[in-house]
Structure 1
Amino acid sequence: MKSRRRKAWVPSLVLGIVLLGVWWATTTLGVIDTAFLPTPQSAVGRLIYGLQQGYLATATWVTLQEALGGCAIAAILGIPTGYGIAKSRLFARAVQPYLAAAQAIPAVAIAPLLTIWIGYGKLPIIVLCTIMVVFPVVISSSVGFRHINHDVLGAARLDGASGWTLIRYMELPLAAPGILAGLRTGFTLSITGAVVGEMIIGGNGLGMTLLSSQGSADVKGMFATIILLACCAMAIYGLIAFVEQRANYLIRDARPR
């Protein structure tokens, strides 16, 4: 199992090395002017400098707070909604069109409205992240609850489990892979929502750092911020994927034979 898990990272690592090599070659050999695309070493150097100075670390923490806050609220709202959709056709027919409509509205259109309704600061950005994340959480949760093994649930009911006890100890753990898949996708959307929100609403996160670098034509600073955003998203994406994989193994072991 451990060797298989290690091998799963090999394709991503190889692709990353290839892309990094192409980036290094095109900039170092002068194929692309470094005024438009900095070398990898200069972008990483600016990233390290920003972290040492503290402004990138502070901005990262602010953006992560907003993204995680949006994910948490989306989970609180989305998981019960997904459960209701999975269990009730009437509820599903009533709710799903509005969820699809909300997902179709672009973030850049919602953000200015949130400043009018809520004001400035972290709260409207967290609300924007929640709006962007809740749809994938609802859909993945409903799929997870619908695909629960009915034999396992039947055995639990025969043992006397019902109501909240059945949901907490059986249905939620069994639907966990689907829920985590939605959160894994949703977190990347939440990072995007936080950055877009900061660029429109304002704040002290990486979105404002990116906007500031863009305004001063600081390409190295822009790439340093983008690299940091990508690293944060990949790290948490990988963490949730690991938890999701563990949940799949536990469910597989729990299936009746």
Structure 2
Amino acid sequence: MHAACALGARRGLATAHAVTRPAPVHVQDREDFVSTDLGAPAAATPSQDPPATLPTGAPAHDRSSAAVRSARPRARGAATGATTTAGTVTAGAATSGTAATGPAATRAARPAARRRRILPALVLGAVLVVVWETVARTGLVPAVFLPAPTAVAERLAEDLTTGGLARYVLPTLVEAVLGSALGAAVALPLGYLVFRSRHASAALEPYIAASQAIPAVALAPLLVLWLGYGLLPIVVLCALLVFFPILLATVLGLRTLDPDVVAAARLDGAGSWSLLRHVELPLAWPSILTGVRNGFTLSVTGAVVGEFVMGGHGLGMLLSARGLAADTTGIFSALIVLCALAMTIYGLLGALERRTAD
């Protein structure tokens, strides 16, 4: 009797264990389970890397930098694990889709936007030329004062064919480029000094602002007395005209930097030189190029005016000679070439600015 009861008890316990024991999960079943629960983010396995430690006396800046550097591998590992678990194919598709619809779409839309921007200027120019031609042909204004556009076009074609203008373009271009380079060489460091030092800003800004009240052209006679005639005084005059736009653009570009980016670079241990080279200068470069582009047009003006006063061999001298001869058609021809020169350099610098901004 007792043996039968013991045998029954053992059978009951075996049955209970069979009911309560969980069924083994095969590898394929686990994969199916994970694949059906991709919506929930997988928990990243905590890294076992020891935290970065520094001596107690280390500055807070060094401790913050060490903490940031030690956190980077763990952050990258967690991000990699989460991406692998949640599905790399989907993330890659989203990334490629963003690239296809972002910068590519923007570049494709630029020609149409450029045409829409240029079209009003072309229409206005055509209207002005028609009105000009009408006024000149009807005799309302004598031709010696206002020649017809067709006569100016014929004279321009003649000057370009015979080389009457080509030999005057290069000296003016050289003077404008050298003046822009000299003005930028002074304005860029001074602008950075004004940005960096409050004392330098307080000391220099009043004099810089006051210098703009004096027309640079009015300094031409003094430049002749100080430097004589020739290339040097014209280049200095161009530099004086270029200086302020480049200085102003440099200061504004540096003062409008994102403070979070600068703070992050400093937290990562960037010194003054590294910060200037890798953060401040690249981010302020579009603004600096805008100042250079606007300043170059003033430099061309300075070259022409300098040749009026101080002599030379460029377009300014040609304009002065044709003015003395009352050659109005020739003056308009030289002015068109001068405008084309300034617009070409302006457009090239604008393209460089847009390329840098991208």
Q: TM-score, normalised by structure 1?
A: 0.91
The corresponding residue for 2:180 is 71
Residues 97-106 or 59-68, more deviating: 97-106
Give the number of the structure whose residues are more often helix, by fraction. Answer: 1
**Residue number among 320, 326, 329 corresponding to 1:211 in the alignment:** 320
Note the aligned Cα RMSD (angstroms): 1.6
Give the partner amino acid of 1:97. Answer: P
Is 1:103–1:132's contact at 8 Å kept on the other side of the alignment? no
Instruction: Give the Å deviation of 1:220.
Output: 0.6
Partner residue in 2 for 1:16: 125
Equivalence map 1:168-207=2 (5 Å): 168-207=277-316
In the alignment, is the contact (CA less than 8 A) between 1:107 and 1:196 conserved in 2?
Answer: no
Amino acid at match of 2:356: A
Gaps of 5+ in 2: 1-108
Provide, for residues 209-256 of structure 1, a one-character-per-residue CA deviation record: whole Å limited to 9, x for no partner.
0000000000011111111111111121222222223333x3xxxxxx
CA distance in 1: counterparts of 2:152 and 2:182, whole angstroms: 34
The answer for the alignment partner of 1:254 in structure 2 is none
Q: Deviations over 1:28-64 (max 9, x none)?
A: 2333222211111211222222222223111111101
Is the Cα contact below 8 Å between 1:108 and 1:200 reproduced in 2? no
Name the stretch that deviates more: 112-121 or 43-52. 43-52
Structure 2: how far apart are the matches of 1:226 and 1:82?
34
Q: Deviation digits for residues 110-134 of structure 1, max 9, x if unmatched? A: 1111111111111110000001110
1:25 positional shift: 2.0
**Alpha carbons of structure 1 residues 11 and 85: separation in structure 2 relative to 1, 3 Å:** farther
Instruction: Determine the C-alpha separation between the residues in 2 that align with 1:155 and 1:39.
Output: 62
What secondary structure sits across from 1:55 in the alignment? coil
Q: Structure 1: which amino acid aligns with 2:253?
A: G
CA distance in 2, matches of 1:111, 1:209: 19
Matched, 1:243 2:320: no
Paired residue secondary structure (1:34)? coil
Q: Percent identity?
A: 48
One-letter code aligned to 2:252: V
Superposition map of 1:24-35 within 5 A: 24-35=133-144
Corresponding residue number in structure 2 for 1:109: 218
Normalising by structure 2, we get a TM-score of: 0.66
Of 151, 172, 176, 1:42 maps to: 151
Shift of 1:12: 2.2
Aligned length: 249
Task: Tell me how far apart the structure 2 counterparts of residues 151 and 108 of structure 1 sit (CA, whole Å).
Answer: 43
Distance (whole Å) between structure 1 residues aligned to residue 167 and residue 338 of structure 2: 13
State the structure with more CA Rg.
2
Within the alignment, does 1:53 sit opposite 2:162 as a pair? yes
Equivalent residue, structure 2, for 1:156: 265
Moved over 4 A (4+): none
